[in-house]
């Protein structure tokens, strides 16, 4: 993307944030330094309507990502459901800020960390935060080449748990073994079946409640 196109795209979305007119904001491909991250955070109003942020391929390092997530965490009335920070340089301190955001958010459903610089300790910290999340359903740490089974195994218990919302995880392009990848696939399939059966049960209960109400009210 040319510098001119980058500038136009950045300014257009800053304007959309300030006016609160878009649920999806795509900064993907725009190089975001500290100054631009600060501009983004300053432009987001309380109770913003934004649900999706795409920060993929923005050349953000540890400092920029830490600043971004620390700022997003402080926005009141946030409705953000999906954040894509793929193909940046998350590692170290920034993963602590990302994890802190994951724990605090009540609306975040999906976070994509594909193609960053994550190490095992970073992923293990994120896992501890996802374990405390009330909303995160999807997590990608794919194409982080240094991540091994050691960091991924704890996620299996979250995928298997009926009380944790995590239902899908992507780990391709890592050093995770085929055996662990197979265990993830099985856990995801079982979780999907569990959720499907739970939804069917809830539909059945709602139908019975409606039928019971009509019977008590004389069929009206």
Give me the residue label for tokens 């959309």: 16
Mean pLDDT of 117-125: 97
pLDDT at 141: 97
Confidence bin at 1 (pLDDT 50/70/90): confident
Average predicted confidence (pLDDT) for the chain: 91
CA distance 69 to 34: 12
Single out the residue of 191, 121, 125 nearest to residue 156, CA to CA.
191
CA distance 45 to 66: 20
List residues bridging with 84 in a β-sheet: 54, 112
Is residue 81 within 8 A of residue 112, CB to CB? The reply is no
Give the domains, in start order, of the chain with CATH numbers.
3-216 (3.80.10.10)
Q: Does residue 209 or residue 69 have the better pLDDT?
A: 69
Mean pLDDT of 178-194: 93
Mean pLDDT of 149-164: 94
Burial of 85 (C-beta count, 10 Å sphere; 0-12/13-18/19+): buried
pLDDT digits (tens, 9 = 90+) for 31-66: 999 999 999 999 999 999 999 999 999 999 999 999
CA distance 195 to 54: 28
Q: Does residue 6 or residue 126 have the better pLDDT?
A: 126
| pLDDT surpassing 70 at residue 144 | yes
Mean pLDDT of 106-128: 97
Burial of 210 (C-beta count, 10 Å sphere; 0-12/13-18/19+): exposed
pLDDT at 39: 98
Q: Collapse the DSSP code of 53 into the 3-class scheme (helix H, G, I; strand E, B; otherwise coil) and give the result.
A: strand
Spatial strand order of the sheet with 52-54 comes to 24-26, 52-54, 82-84, 110-112, 138-140, 168-170
């Amino acid at each position: 993307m040319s510098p001119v196109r980058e500038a136009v795209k950045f300014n257009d979305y800053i304007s959309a944030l300030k006016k609160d007119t878009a649920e999806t904001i795509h900064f993907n491909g725009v190089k975001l330094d500290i100054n631009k991250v600060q501009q983004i955070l300053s432009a987001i109003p309380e109770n913003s309507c934004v649900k999706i942020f795409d920060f993929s391929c923005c050349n953000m390092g540890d400092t920029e990502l830490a600043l971004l997530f620390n700022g997003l965490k402080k926005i009141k009335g946030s409705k953000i459901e999906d954040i894509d920070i793929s193909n940046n340089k998350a590692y170290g301190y920034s993963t602590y800020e990302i994890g802190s955001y994951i724990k605090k958010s009540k609306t975040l459903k999906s976070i994509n960390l594909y193609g960053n610089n994550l190490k095992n300790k970073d992923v293990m910290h994120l896992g501890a935060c996802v374990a405390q999340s009330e909303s995160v359903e999807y997590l990608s740490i794919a194409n982080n080449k240094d991540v091994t089974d050691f960091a991924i195994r704890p996620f299996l218990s979250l995928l298997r748990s009926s009380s944790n919302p995590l239902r899908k995880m992507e780990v391709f392009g890592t050093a995770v073994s085929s055996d662990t990848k197979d265990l993830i696939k099985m856990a995801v399939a079982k979780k999907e079946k569990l959720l499907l059966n739970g939804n069917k049960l809830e539909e059945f209960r709602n139908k019975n409640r409606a039928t019971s109400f009509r019977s008590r009210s004389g069929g009206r």
